[in-house]
């Protein structure tokens, strides 16, 4: 497996987790009343979080799946070469 791919995948997953924690932190501040904003802005932020957090989770799942697929693919290819 290519080490640069693993490094990039780990960095991407950490960035997505950081984004998720940033969204949670923002909504906690807003719920406590430390951040004051209008209802229209709050709804836009909520909509952005509702759209981006599932996208980030899906993207990280695809990265993890591709890592597993790449590691399993080399083992399957080496075992099938003897059959031909």
Q: What is the mean pLDDT of residues 38-60?
A: 81
Domain count, the chain: 1
- For residue 56, how many other CB atoms are within 10 A of its CB? 19
> Is the pLDDT score of 50 beyond 60?
yes
pLDDT of residue 77: 54
pTM above 0.85, yes or no: no
Q: Is the pLDDT of residue 43 over 80?
A: yes
Q: Which of 8, 1, 5 is nearest to 73 (CA)?
A: 1
| Domain of 56, in residue numbers | 3-83
């Amino acid at each position: 497996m290519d080490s640069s791919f693993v490094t990039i995948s780990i960095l991407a997953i950490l960035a997505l987790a950081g984004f998720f924690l940033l969204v949670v932190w923002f909504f906690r501040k807003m719920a406590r009343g430390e951040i004051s904003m209008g209802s229209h802005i709050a709804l836009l932020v909520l909509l952005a979080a509702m759209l981006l957090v599932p996208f980030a989770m899906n993207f990280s799942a695809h990265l993890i799946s591709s890592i597993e697929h790449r590691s399993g693919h080399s083992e399957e290819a080496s075992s099938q070469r003897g059959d031909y």
